[in-house]
Amino acid sequence: MSEKEKMISGEIYNPADAELYYERIKVKTLCQKYNQLAPCDSETRRKIIRGILGKCKDHTHIEPNFFCDYGYNIEVGENFYANHNLVILDCAKVKIGDNVFIGPNCGIYTACHPTNAEERNAGIEYAKPVTIGNNVWLGGNVCIMPGVTIGDNTVIGAGSVVTKDIPQNVIAVGNPCKPIKNAD
């Protein structure tokens, strides 16, 4: 099994593998081009983001700067908007539904590192997928940690760190993020 296959299947893998290294360089080069485009160059912006993301619909808009590890593990639904400085570490699948809005300076992380120092220092890691449902709003400076699912029609308050699944139809805030009331 290749290191890429291990990564995608959630097993421990070596991110220094040549194939993975070149895939990261390729997408980071595309992200750099995307981030340097003139704001009025919407056609080139659409073309490049389609080359970065694994799957996206017609109404996908990501403000620069945008960064990701591989791109092909990211799927976004219809009517997706992300404000400035979105970081998606997509070593595992990141699936985002329709009508999702993401505030500035947010991070979605799938990469996990061993807690054992010897293993961590060996450079190995693993990844857990993240799923964000339909009609979700993430406030500014939200961090979504590996393995989390956020349900439909949910709002995550600004500055929250989402470490566990959040159900649908709630407003959730805090570090760690917890539901505080039902969404309207």
DSSP state of 125: B
Q: Residue 99 burial (CB < 10 Å; 0-12/13-18/19+)?
A: middle
pLDDT per residue rounded down to tens, the chain (184 residues): 999 999 999 999 999 999 999 999 999 999 999 999 999 999 999 999 999 999 998 899 999 999 999 999 999 999 999 999 999 999 999 999 999 999 999 999 999 999 999 999 999 999 999 999 999 999 999 999 999 999 999 999 999 999 999 999 999 999 999 999 998 7
Q: Residue 36 burial (CB < 10 Å; 0-12/13-18/19+)?
A: exposed
User: In the chain, how many domains are there?
Assistant: 1
Residue with tokens 């807690």: 115
Looking at residue 52, which CATH number applies to its domain?
A: 2.160.10.10
3-state secondary structure of 93: coil
Query: 99 and 105 in contact (C-beta within 8 Å)?
Result: no
pLDDT at 45: 94
Structural domain boundaries enclosing 138: 3-182
Which residues have CB under 8 Å from 25's CB, separation 6+?
A: none
Burial string for 41-52 (b: 16+ CB within 10 Å, else e) reads eeeebeebbeeb
Active site residues: 113
Query: 76 and 53 in contact (C-beta within 8 Å)?
Result: yes
Query: 142 and 162 in contact (C-beta within 8 Å)?
Result: yes
Model's pTM, two decimal places? 0.96
Query: 183 and 171 in contact (C-beta within 8 Å)?
Result: yes
Bridge partner list, 76: 96
